[in-house]
Amino acid sequence: MNKKQIREAIGKIGEDVVAKTIPGAVKTGDWYDSEKDGTINGNLTYEVKTLTRRRNEQAFWLSPKEGERAANVNILFIIESPAEPTDPAVLYMVMDHSRTYDIIEDRIAGTQYQWPVEKCMTMKSFDGFQLYNLAKQLRN
C-alpha cells in the first residue's frame, strides 16, 4: 500500500467505528466530501479524525485546513491511534470543539490546531492493533 492508501484505510477505520458506535450516525456517500464525514439523525454534521496523541502537549494536532474543517461541523470525533501495539484505540467526542482548540506555532510542524485531551470525552476503547500497524507504516 502506498501512503495515500494507508491514510485512507486509517480514515475508513475511524469512520466505521463512529458509524457503528454512535446511534443515528450515517457516513456520507462521498469519501471526499469537503464539509463532513457524516450526519447524525440526518441533521447534525460530524467529522472523524484519526490521530496520534502529542504526548508532551497531551493534545491532538491538525493542520490549518483540517483544523478549520473540524471546527466547522456540529460534532468532532477523534480516534486516538495507539502508541504501542498492545494499547487500545480510543474513540473520543471533543466537548465544545469549536471553542476549545488553540492555534499554536510549532517550529517544525508550523501552524496547528490543537485540541487538549482533557476536553475529550471517552466514548469507547477498542482493539488498536490494526491502526497501530497502519500508522507505523506511515512513519517508515
**Residues pairing with 67 in the sheet:** none
Mean pLDDT of 35-55: 93
Percent of the chain with pLDDT over 70: 100
The structural domain count of the chain equals 1
Residue-wise pLDDT tens digits, 73-91: 999 999 999 999 999 999 9
- Give the pLDDT score at 75: 96
- Give the pLDDT score at 30: 78
- Is 32's pLDDT higher than 90? no
- Give the pLDDT score at 34: 78
- Give the pLDDT score at 9: 94
Q: What does pTM read for this prediction?
A: 0.93
- Is 128's pLDDT higher than 80? yes
DSSP string across 72-84: TSSEEEEEEPPSS
Mean pLDDT of 103-132: 95
- Give the pLDDT score at 138: 86
- Give the pLDDT score at 140: 76
Q: Could you tell me the CA-to-CA distances from 56 to 50, 52, 60, 84, 116 in Å, in that order? A: 18, 12, 11, 16, 11
Mean pLDDT of 136-140: 85
Residue 68: domain span: 3-139
Is 19 strand, coil or helix?
Answer: helix
Q: Could you tell me the CA-to-CA distances from 107 to 53, 114, 139 in Å, in that order? A: 18, 15, 20
Q: In the predicted model, what is the mean pLDDT of the chain?
A: 93
